[in-house]
Amino acid sequence: MTMHSRKVGLAVAQMGAVNLADSRASVVKRLVEMMREAHGRGADFVVFPELALTTFFPRYWMSMQEAEQRYFETSMPNADVQPLFDTAKSLGVGFYLGYAELTPDGQRFNASILVNKQAEIVGKYRKIHLPGHDDHKLDAPFQHLEKKYFDVGDQPFGVWNLDEIKMGMCLCNDRRWPETWRVMSLQSAEIIVLGYNTPSRNIHWPEPVHLRMHHHLITLQASAYQNCVWAAAAAKCGYEDGHHMIGGSVIVAPTGEIVAQASTEDDEVISVSADLALAETFRKNVFDFARHRRPEHYRLIVERTGPGEPLERA
C-alpha cells in the first residue's frame, strides 16, 4: 500500500560544552545561530538539548537557594531567551528547548517546551524519570543530583499538535524506559523529541565508556521502531569544565534506522526531510496496536514498580 508522503524538515541542534562562566545570553546566541542554520537547510522544527541554557549543574553540590538563583528560570520566555523566540517567529521555525523551571509556588522541574512557528508555547513537559541521587557523594568524582534539585514531573507524557504534527517529548533518562515511548505512541505521536546530558562516566558503577553510546543508540532505535515514530535527540556534550558528556545526537526513522548523526562534540546541526507517512506504514501493519496489542496481559506494567513474585497461573 502506498501512503501519501508528509514531509517535515526536522533538525537537531547539538550543543558543545556550556561552561560555568558562560552567560545565558551567550548560550542563546549559539542557539539562534543554529536555528538560522537549520532554517537554511529547510528545517521546520529544531530540537535543542536538555537544560540547554546552563552547564549541567546537577553535577555540583550546592544549596537549593544557590541552585535556584543561578540555574532556574522563573518565566519562559524571559529576557535572555526572548531572542530565540523572536528568531523562531521571524523564520517560521518551531522548536523544543529544555531548561530548569522554578514555579511561582516553589516547585522545581527539569522541563521542556514545544514552541510553534508563531513562537507560541504549545506544550510543556516536566521530567518524570529523574536519575542520580539526592545525597552528597563525597567520594564521587562529580555528582548527579537530579533527585535533589528537581521534583518528579506532575503530568503524564503528552502529545501536542505542533503545526499539524502530533509531537511528543521527554528528557534524557526518560528515553531508556519503554513506557515513555509507548504512552506517547498510544496518543498517536508521530515525532518524539528529547534533549540529553549524558556523562560518559557512570559514578554508580564502573560502566565501560563505550556502553554509554551503545545504550543511547539502541534505546532510540528500538523505541522509534517499536512505537512507529520519528525520534530526534539532541545532546549537550563535550567537556563542560573538564566533565565529559557523550555526543551522538541522532534522528531515527520509524524503521529504527539512524538517518542523521552528529559527528562532533561541538555545536552541530543535523537535519533530514522526515516523511511522516513512513510511520503510518508501520502503524497499519506490524504495529497495528488496536488489532494486536493485548493490554489485559500487561497489567503488571502499571501494578508493579519493581520485580516481584511470578504471577499465579490457572
Binding residues (CB under 6 A) for ligand CDT: these are 50, 131-132, 144, 172-173, 176, 196-198, 202
CB closer to ligand CDT out of 116 and 219:
219
Using DSSP bridges, classify how beta strands 191-196 and 165-171 pair: parallel, antiparallel or unpaired: parallel
Amino acid (one-letter) located at 141: P
CB closer to ligand CDT out of 100 and 253:
100
Instruction: Describe the chain by its helix, strand, coil percentages, rounded to 5.
Output: 30, 25, 45
CB closer to ligand CDT out of 210 and 292:
210
CB closer to ligand CDT out of 38 and 51:
51
Phi-psi region of 135 (alpha: psi -120 to 50; beta: other; left: phi over 0): beta
Question: What is d(CA 181, CA 170) in angstroms, rounded to the nearest whole number?
Answer: 9
Q: Is 166 a catalytic residue?
A: no
Annotated active-site residue in 50, 101, 240, 265:
50
Question: What is d(CA 36, CA 55) in angstroms, rounded to the nearest whole number?
Answer: 23
191-196 sheet: strands from edge to edge: 159-162, 165-171, 191-196, 230-235, 250-252, 258-261
Question: What is d(CA 100, CA 96) in angstroms, rounded to the nearest whole number?
Answer: 14
CB closer to ligand CDT out of 117 and 147:
147
C-alpha cell read off for 73: 528560570
Question: What is d(CA 209, CA 252) in angstroms, rounded to the nearest whole number?
Answer: 22
Least distance from ligand CDT to the Cβ atom of residue 204, Å: 6
Least distance from ligand CDT to the Cβ atom of residue 129, Å: 7
Detail the DSSP E strand segments found in 127-280: 159-162, 165-171, 191-196, 230-235, 238-240, 243-245, 250-252, 258-261, 268-275
Question: What is d(CA 229, CA 188) in angstroms, rounded to the nearest whole number?
Answer: 9
Q: Which residues in 115-128 are b (16+ Cβ under 10 Å) and which e? A: bbbebeeebbbbbb
Least distance from ligand CDT to the Cβ atom of residue 98, Å: 9
CB closer to ligand CDT out of 6 and 176:
176
Annotated active-site residue in 146, 148, 166, 172:
172
Least distance from ligand CDT to the Cβ atom of residue 299, Å: 27
Q: Is 172 a catalytic residue?
A: yes
Q: Is 50 a catalytic residue?
A: yes
Name the residue with cell 544549596: 63
Least distance from ligand CDT to the Cβ atom of residue 237, Å: 11
Least distance from ligand CDT to the Cβ atom of residue 15, Å: 14
Least distance from ligand CDT to the Cβ atom of residue 133, Å: 8
Q: Which residues are marked as active site?
A: 50, 127, 172
